[in-house]
A and B are shown apart, each in its own frame.
Chain A
Amino acid sequence: MATLEITGLRKTFGGVVALAGVDMTIRSEEILGVIGPNGSGKTTLFNTVCGVYRPTTGTIHWNGVDIAGMPAYAIGRLGLGRTFQQAMSFPALTVRENVQIAIEHGSRREDGAGPQWSSPEELLEFVDLEAFADEVASVMPFGNLRRLGVAVALGGHPAQLLLDEPAAGLNEGESVQLIHLLRRAHELGVGICIIDHHVGLMAELCSRLVVLHFGNKIADGPVDDVLSDPKVIEVYLGGEE
């Protein structure tokens, strides 16, 4: 099982402290949710872990390997996959070619979890997009584009996936479809760590929650404990509870 160990992770942009020394562990056998108000540092956390930003201080160990400051592609090759807050794809290419490129690069790795996808069709069937294989990605409905983003990340043969608001902009039905997809990916052995604002969705999907607030971790534990934590209710859930 793969483990991502983050200790004392701090990231500042000029005078702005995005992450103020976060400690957390992500294990691939669980589905972990990261919640927090806007600007609490969730996306910065993912971007720093995945090599988009270099951490100001702190360490990030992926299966014992120090990946802090490594380039994004090298981290991707180590089996740490991700999706982006904006639904990303290779827009002018067909859906098939989108996942084919990911598979061609993912299939070189031996240490990823889940199956080695033998063909783009197999992966497209898994994410329920086989009917769109010949469509150009940019003309697909938004919900499909979100699933294509997950497919591209899965094609990269990751042991752990970091998903940045994969359900943002989706309707009820599409969200359910996505949760179902992530569960099936997890059953294949891929670790799932997900950022989302939809507390109901997170409560249903995740086994553990981490709450960030102004770059600090204020709660970490089983979903029910975290959601009933007075501190969390005060800063995040507010009137909802």
Chain B
Amino acid sequence: MADKRPPMGPRTNSAWPSPAALILTTVVVIGVFAFPWLNPGYRALSFAVTTGVTAIVLYGMAIPFGQAGIMSLGYAGLMGFGAYTAAILSRDFGLNMWEAMPFSALVAALCAGLFGLPSLRISGHHFAITTYVMCELLRIALINGGKFTGAASGLDLPPIGTVLGVKLDKLSNAYMLVAGFMFISMLAAYCVANSRYGRTLRSVRENEQLSRSIGVNTNMYKVGAFMLSGLFAGVGGDLQAYNFRHISPDLYGGATSLYFALMVMLGGPRTAFGPLAGAIIVTFLPEFMRIDPVDSRIAYGLALIAVVMLIPGGVIAAVGRGYQWVMRTLRGPHAGSADPHSAQV
């Protein structure tokens, strides 16, 4: 699978995916863009738009979490900064979705840097809890923001409008737009993971003291990774605000952040398709299986424990390992990779 390569890429240093990975990627891209032609219905299509927007945020989140190893529970808040920036710029300055996007990204990135600052002093659960609290504080601030933030009822946004004759307010077109941005995020996250920058983040994750000794300013890299991921969250927030046409503080609380964390862990933060898979599973599974929302939360809790204990790399990494195992078995015991740690194809 394409999955395992980006972070570890053990066999070669080339950032180029293997043929099998390219075929899989092509299938996924075609599948995602073909989805509206399968007549999925309005409800499923709007779920798909939400999934796509969420996946954009998750690809950002995968950079500090997957590469630098720092789990933050503040991403709904960062998405909120992006969404509220878009809504306020639209209301006060008449900017449209495209014009607001760079501002949303920038504001979210700066706030992500702030959210990431505690990671210089604390780590693990302590940092995760700190960012969760920051996210909740943002929600409370939005509720009490008076006219500026629209208080508890939130803010409205105008339609996305038309670009090059394409009416983007039509749901299937909006879906295409979001899918496009989602694949750009996927590619961007992949490029980061395979760059010198991504490798340095992994060195920070693996051994901060050793990393510093060879001249890496680990603090800068940590905050930088958060700011980079904030760009994704800001773009996601802008897209979400214009697709929902109405935003409110409850969308951006700690609970949403927990769902994001669940998705990214479930899918696998170090795999190219992990965040997308996580977003799809968590958004669509309860809908398809008609699980009660309360029951589904219990199921998520159990699923998360199962993932952490049984398949720590996430679902996609596990599928990749399974595929490799099958290929090795088919080729015979001595053929193929002798390294049990390389899970790439």
Count how many chain B residues have C-beta atoms less than 8 Å from C-beta atoms of the other chain. 25
B213 is an interface residue with CB less than 8 A from chain A: yes
Of A90, A106, A136, A153, the residue contacting B203 (CB under 8 A) is A90
With A90-B206, A136-B10 as contacts: A105 and B341 at CB distance below 8 Å: no
Whole-angstrom distance between the Cβ of B41 and the nearest chain A Cβ:
44
Tell me whether A102 and B202 are in contact in the complex, defined as CB-CB below 8 angstroms, given that A91-B207, A93-B8, A134-B339 are known contacts: no
Question: Which single member of B13, B206, B210, B341 contacts A100 (CB below 8 Å)?
Answer: B13
Query: Which residues of A sit under 8 angstroms from B199, Cβ to Cβ?
Result: 97, 100-101, 104
> How many angstroms from the CA of A94 to the CA of B9 in the assembled complex?
9
How many A residues, CB 8 Å from partner? 37
In the complex, whether B209 has a CB less than 8 A from a CB of chain A is yes
Distance to closest chain B CB from A132 (angstroms): 10
Tell me whether A139 is interfacial, beta carbon within 8 Å.
Answer: yes
Shortest C-beta distance, B105 to chain A (Å), equals: 28
User: Complex: how many Å from CA A155 to CA B216?
Assistant: 13
Please measure, in the bound complex, the distance between the C-alpha atom of A92 and the C-alpha atom of B215, giving whole angstroms.
20
Contact present for B10 and A82 (CB under 8 Å): no
- CB-nearest residue of chain A to B11: A134
Tell me, yes or no, whether B123 is within 8 Å of chain A by CB: no
CB nearest to A52 among chain B residues = B209
Chain B residues near A91 (CB-CB < 8 A): 206-207
Q: B96 contacts the other chain (Cβ, under 8 Å)?
A: no
Q: Is B217's CB within 8 Å of the partner chain A?
A: yes
Interface string of A37-75 (1 = CB under 8 A from B): 000000000000010100000000000000000011110
Q: Which residues of B contact A (CB under 8 A)?
A: 8-11, 13, 196, 199-200, 202-203, 206-207, 209-218, 339, 341-342
A residues at B contact (CB < 8 Å): 50, 52, 71-74, 76-77, 81-82, 84, 88-94, 96-97, 100-102, 104-106, 108-109, 120, 134-136, 139, 152-153, 155-156
Contacts A/B (CB < 8 Å), 21 sampled: A71-B217, A72-B209, A72-B212, A73-B212, A73-B213, A76-B215, A84-B209, A88-B207, A89-B206, A89-B207, A90-B207, A90-B210, A92-B8, A97-B8, A97-B9, A97-B10, A100-B199, A101-B203, A104-B199, A134-B342, A152-B210
